[in-house]
Amino acid sequence: MKANQERIEQHIELLNRFTSTPGQGVTRLTYSKEDLQARNFIKEKMIEYGLEVSEDGFGNIFGKLEGTSPDKPSVIVGSHFDSVPNGGAYDGTAGVVVGLEVAALFKENNVQPTYPLEIIALVEEEGSRFGGGLMGSRGMMGMLSDEDFKKLADKDGVLAEDAMLTIGLDPLKKKVRDHETIRAFLELHIEQGPILEEKGIQVGIVESIVGLTQLEVTVQGQAGHAGTTPMNRRSDALVSAAQIIGDLPELATSIGEGTVITTGRLNVYPNGANVIPDKVTFTIDIRAGKEENILEAVRRTNERIATGQEKGIHISVEEMLYIQPKFLDENIRSILKETSDALEITNCNMQSGAGHDAMVLSDFTACGMVFIPSKDGLSHCPEEWSDASDLAAGTNILFETVKRLMEEETS
Ligand code: HGY
Ligand code: MN
Ligand code: MN
């Protein structure tokens, strides 16, 4: 009853083709043509493995294998299938492919689960199209109101709801899932860092996930002529933004304990080479293992921004997402450890510096995560790569863990 490494490799490669930037990494934005291509592939595989396929009002995909006690809550395995712009072939996708492989193992070995098994493919975990992030999992668990969902739009002003309709999804379908219907959530994910590779260890068993907040800053100045406006009469939004952004790395370092701050997206308006920018929007992504460090970083960031309000410069800050550090389920972690040891797969405990859907679900159900090594620790870039043998090892661990969870009575 072992995972089929070639099939895993083939599925990763096939999903890798559904990108709007071929040759420059995976760009698969939520509700895009590429989303639809990947969605159809995932649903086709779910049907092939005997799962009952459904989608909710956000477009999250579920493949269910009924258990011998169908009224029991489901053990859910999966991850997200959207990407960052020009990202890699494994972030999120690896967890969906491994989930499909677990379902294939149940079918091929004719294993009838006691609790229902569900394979899940979540939307908009990255927030690349509609901002914030963790949208599919937050929506499914009732942490995104219908009112707020209806307001979501991409950078071109396309509403999330309209984008759903464009690819044939129905936003009127049931959105919020009763968390009593979930027994546990298991997610395999690439580590996205260098630790496992440097230690020569095959899997990481995740103990905790950093807390994170994402801010959207808008700097409003005054447009003007690049040639005729004296330097002492400018309210240059880009200079003001650049000075703030330039101070953030030192702010993170001064808090320490692994606190990180990143500005990943910046837009300049009107973006003319001979025009003094009148508006700049940029993101600030703040993460730390301790909540007090996140709060301190937000406080100091807002303090720094306040000093930028001067001479015709007005700055506003919107909090797009805030999620506390999360600790994953002890019982599941010990099953993952015992299973890894029994399969003679080298393993260690880890913290996650990346955010994951398990951060959302862990407020509602028992969650476990398994990391596999990332080559050179790279992720969120076309160079992202993981070895299919590690994906197969992770699949075997999840397969055995799912069966163990199905033997235990829910508390
Ligand atoms: O940002 C993250 O940590 C994740 O990739 N969404
Ligand atoms: Mn990611
Ligand atoms: Mn991810």
191 lines ligand 1 (CB under 6 A): no
Confidence label for 405 from pLDDT (cuts 50, 70 and 90): very high
pLDDT at res. 180: 96
pLDDT tens per residue across span 108-149: 999 989 999 999 999 999 999 999 899 999 999 999 999 999
125 lines ligand 1 (CB under 6 A): yes
Kindly tell me if the per-residue pLDDT of 257 is higher than 90. yes
The amino acid sitting at 257 is E
CATH class of 5-210+325-407: alpha beta
Nearest-5° Cα angle at 356, 354 to 358: 135
C-alpha closest to that of 42 among 67, 25, 62: 62
- Whether the CB-CB separation of 236 and 221 falls below 8 Å is answered with yes
Report CA(264)–ligand 1 centroid distance (Å): 12
Confidence label for 353 from pLDDT (cuts 50, 70 and 90): very high
Q: Which of 84, 90, 351 maximizes ligand 1 atoms within 8 Å of its Cβ, making it the mutation to test the pocket?
A: 84
* Residues with Cβ–ion distance below 5 A, ligand 3: 91-92
Confidence label for 151 from pLDDT (cuts 50, 70 and 90): very high
Write down the domain spans for the chain.
Answer: 5-210+325-407, 211-323
Partnered with residue 370 across adjacent β-strands are: 188, 205
May I ask the CATH architecture of the domain 211-323?
Answer: 2-Layer Sandwich (3.30)
- Mean of the pLDDT values across residues 9-28? 98
88 lines ligand 1 (CB under 6 A): no
pLDDT at res. 379: 97
Rounded distance between C-alpha atoms, residue 274 and residue 194, angstroms? 43
Percent of the chain with pLDDT over 90: 95
Rounded distance between C-alpha atoms, residue 252 and residue 270, angstroms? 31
Confidence label for 409 from pLDDT (cuts 50, 70 and 90): low
- Mean of the pLDDT values across residues 277-285? 98
Secondary structure E strands in 363-411: 366-372
Q: What DSSP letter does each residue of 159-186 carry, written as one string?
A: BHHHHHHHTT--TTS--PPPGGGEEEEE
Kindly tell me if the per-residue pLDDT of 407 is higher than 90. no
Of residues 311 and 408, more confidently modeled: 311
Kindly tell me if the per-residue pLDDT of 411 is higher than 90. no
Closest listed ligand to the CA of 80: 3
Closest listed ligand to the CA of 187: 3
269 exposure class (CB count in 10 Å sphere: 0-12, 13-18, 19+): middle
Atom of ligand 1 nearest to the CA of 133: 6
- Mean of the pLDDT values across residues 53-74? 94
325 lines ligand 1 (CB under 6 A): no
pLDDT at res. 71: 85
pLDDT tens per residue across span 260-276: 999 999 999 999 999 99
- Mean of the pLDDT values across residues 335-353? 97
Kindly tell me if the per-residue pLDDT of 70 is higher than 80. no
Q: How far apart are the first and last CA of the chain?
A: 29
Kindly tell me if the per-residue pLDDT of 69 is higher than 90. no
pLDDT at res. 406: 86
Kindly tell me if the per-residue pLDDT of 348 is higher than 70. yes
pLDDT at res. 410: 54
C-alpha closest to that of 176 among 214, 145, 201: 145
Measured over the CA atoms of residue 12, residue 17, residue 20 and residue 24, the dihedral's sign is positive
Percent of the chain with pLDDT over 70: 99
133 lines ligand 1 (CB under 6 A): yes
Average model confidence (pLDDT) across the chain: 96
Structure tokens at 381: 């870039």
